[in-house]
Amino acid sequence: MKRLVLATTIALVLSACQESEQVTTEAGQGAGASVTAPTQDSGQNESQRLQSLVNAFFQESLSRSPVYATFVGVHSFDDKFDDPISDKSLKEDLAFHQGYLARIGEIDANSLQGQDRLTYDIFKRDRELAIAGHRFPGHLQPYNQMWGVHNFYPMLGSGGSAQPFQTEQDYLNFISRTKGFVEYMDSTITAMQEGMEKGVVLPKSIVLKVIPQLQAHIVDTAEKSVFYGPVRMLQDNDSLTAEQKARLEQDYEKMIMEQIVPCYQRLLDFVQSRYLTAARDSVGLSALPDGTAWYEHMIATHTTLPLSAEEIHQYGLQEVARIRKEMEAVKEKVGFQGDLPAFFEHLRTDDAYFFQSEEAVIDAYQAVKEKINARLDTLFEIRPKADYEVRAVEPFRAASSAGASYQAPAPDGSRPGIFYINTYDLKAQPKYLLETLSIHEAAPGHHFQIAIQQEVEGLPQYRKFNGYTVFAEGWALYAESLGKDLGLFTDPMMWYGRLSDEQLRAMRLVVDTGIHAKGWTREQAMTFMAENSSMAASDIEAEVERYIAIPGQALAYKVGERAIRQMREKLKAMQGERFDIRQFHTQVLIDGAMPMPVLESKLVRWAKQQG
C-alpha cells in the first residue's frame, strides 16, 4: 500500500545519525551556537499543541509502519511487518491522515513563528497531499524493478542494513518479522489480481525486469540465499553461546527454505503464469483509468510546485538544446574531429574512458572523496559529523539498480553513510563522471543534506526523518553546479561529465512527460536519449524503464535545482553586497527538507531578519 512504499523509501534514503556540529537555524542563531530548533514565546500554547500533534503523528506512524521504525532507529517493532494490503488497511490509512488534518486545522497558524510555522506548513501540506493520493490505486501496482518489498526486504535481512543482528532476540525478531513479510507478499498477489480486473497493471517491460529479481531468491539451499548473511555473522559473535548459534542457524535455515523461498516462488508463479499475460503494452500513466489526473498528482508530489506537464516538457527541451551547445564546445576543446553524434559514439566505445575492474572504480571514487573534502570550506560553514564510505552495489540487485545511490548513516551512529556505485556494467561508469557523481551522491550533495537534517537538535522527529524528492535531488544537482567553485572540473572531460549528468536530468524532463502525458513509447524515449547524450545503451534502457516505473520522480532533479538557483538569485538581489554564499547554503540545509514554496518563504523571512 502507499503507506508502506512511501515510508520505506523515505527511511532508506533519509535515516541518519543524531548528533551534529554547530550550525545555524532560521531563528538566526550564529554558527557557534548550539544546533537547536527554537520554540517561540509568542503563541506558546498553540506551539505546544502543534508539537504534541506532530509528535503524536510520528509515534503513531512508527506503530503503523514497523519497518519505517526500524530504519529511523526505533527498535521496539523489529519483530513486526506492515499490515497486508486490504480495503481495511487502505481505509484506515485514509482516516489516519484525515484525522490529523482536522486536528492541525484547529491550530491558529497566525500565532506560530519560526520553526513552528515551518512545521505547521509542512505537516498540513503533507496530510492534504496524502489524502489526495488515495484517489489513485497505486496499491494495485505494488512492485516494480526500482521499488518494492521484494527488493528492500532482502537488503533488510542481509545483515548489512538497518535490522540489528547482535543478540539472540535480534535474530528471533527477524524470524517473527518474516511471517508478516510473507503475509504482505501474499496480499500483493491479491492486489495485482484486482488490478488485472480493473485494467491497472504494469507495462510488460517492467514486469520482465521484476521476474529475475524474484528468481534470485528462489534457492535450493539456505546457504545460497542473501537472507543467510546473518547466519554467517554468528561465527564472529562472541556474545552468543555455541548452543544459541546452532539453534539460530537451524531456525534460519527453516525460515529461508519454508517461508521465504516458497513466498517468492508463489509470487513468481503468479507473475509468470498470469500477470505477464495481462501486463500492458502501453507505458504511460495516462493510459490507465484516471491516468492524466494521476500523473498531475505525481508531478505535484515530486516537485511540490504547481507545474503542468507541458510547461516541464518545454523547459526540458530548452535545456537539452543549451547543454548540447556546451558539449559541442568541449568536443572542440579536446580536438575531436567529427560531429557531436560521432563524439558521443567515441565516448561510448573508447576503452580509455572506462575502468577495467570494480576495484578500480571504488578506488577512484575514494580518491575523489578526499579531493572534494579538502575544498568544502570555501563554500560551506557547516558539515555533517557523520562520514560516508564508497561501496559497490550488491550483486543481487545490481542488474536493475541505478548507476549510483546514497544510503544515509544509521540514526545511532553505528554505520556511516554509504555512497553506492553500480559496477554491474563498467561501460555505464565512465571515468569522466567521477567528480560530478561524487558531488551529487555524497559531499556536498545527498550526504550533506540528509545527514545534516538528522543532526539538527530540536526538530520534531517528523521533520528529521521526512523527505521531498525535489529538495533532496534538487539540492544534489545544485551541488553539482558548485563544482567549479570547489576547484573541480578543470579537466575538459570532467567538465563534460558535469554536462553529461546535467543533460541526463534535462532529458528526464522531456522523456518523463513524453511518456506519461504525451503518449511516447519506450523506444521513442530511448531514441531521444541516445541522440542527445553519450550514455551507454544499457544505461539508457535502465533510465527509461525507471521513468516508466515511477512517474514524476525524475522531474524533481532539474526542477529543484532551478528553484534553489532562483532563490539564491532572489536573496542576492535582496541583500546585495551583504550576500554570503556560505550563509545561504547554511539556511537551505539547516532546517531540513521541505517543499519548495515553504523553503522560499523561509529564506525570504531570514533575509529580511538580516536587515
Decide if 289 is inside a domain.
no
Measure the CA–CA gap between 225 and 539, rounded to whole angstroms. Answer: 28
* 34 found inside a domain: no
Pair 544, 526 in one domain: yes
Whether residue 105 contacts residue 582, with contact meaning beta carbons closer than 8 Å, is answered with: no
Asked, for residue 26, whether it belongs to a domain, the answer is: no
Query: What span, in angstroms and rounded, lies between the C-alpha atoms of 516 and 548?
Result: 8
Same domain, yes or no: 128 and 145: no
- What cell was used for 559? 526542477
pLDDT of residue 409: 86
383-430 residue pLDDT tens: 999 999 999 988 877 776 778 889 888 766 778 999 999 988 888 889
Clarify whether residues 216 and 189 are in a common domain. yes
31 occurs within a structural domain: no
Residues 372, 356 within the same domain? yes
The verdict on residue 167 lying in a domain is yes
pTM metric for this prediction? 0.85
Last residue in a domain, options 136, 171, 191: 136
281, 310, 331 — which closes off a domain? 281
Model pLDDT, residue 27: 32
Is 408 a domain residue?
A: yes
Domain membership of residue 481 (yes or no) is yes
- Verify that 407 and 522 share a domain, yes or no: yes
Q: What is the mean pLDDT of the chain?
A: 90
3 state SS of 421: strand
Same domain, 435 and 487: yes
Query: Strand pairing of 417-421 and 388-392?
Result: parallel
Q: Residue 554: CA atoms inside 13 Å, Cβ hemisphere, count?
A: 30
Residues 197 and 122 in one domain: no
Q: What is the pLDDT of residues 445-465, one digit of tens each?
A: 999 999 998 888 878 989 988
Range of the domain at 173: 140-281
In the listed set 281, 309, 329, which residue is the last one of a domain according to the structure?
Answer: 281
Q: What is the pLDDT of residues 175-199, one digit of tens each?
A: 999 999 999 999 999 999 999 999 9
Residues 72 and 200 in one domain: no
Q: 128 and 146 in one domain?
A: no
Residue 32: which pLDDT band, with cuts at 50, 70 and 90?
A: very low
428 in the same domain as 497 = yes
Q: In 406-555, which ranges are continuous DSSP H helix?
A: 434-441, 446-455, 461-464, 469-480, 492-517, 522-531, 537-549
Do 87 and 177 sit in the same domain of this protein? no
Q: How many residues does the chain have?
A: 611
The pLDDT tens digits of the residues spanning 230-281 come to 999 999 999 999 999 999 999 999 999 999 999 999 999 999 999 999 999 9
Burial profile 227-237: b = 16 or more Cβ within 10 angstroms, e = fewer: bbbbbeebeeb
pLDDT at position 400 is 64
154-171 pLDDT, tens digit per residue, is: 999 999 888 999 999 999
The predicted structure's pLDDT at residue 564? 98
Question: Residue 484 contacts by C-beta under 8 Å, 6 or more apart in sequence?
Answer: none
Report yes or no on 585 lying in a domain: no
Q: Give the Cα separation of 291 and 278 in Å (integer).
A: 18
Q: Distances from the Cα of 185 to the Cαs of 11, 210, 266, 268, 326, in angstroms?
A: 20, 14, 9, 11, 48
At CA 466, angle to CA 479 and CA 185, rounded to 5? 115
Structural domain tally of the chain? Answer: 3
Do 381 and 453 have their domain in common? Answer: yes
> pLDDT tens-digit profile of 104-150?
999 999 999 888 999 999 999 999 999 999 999 999 999 999 889 99
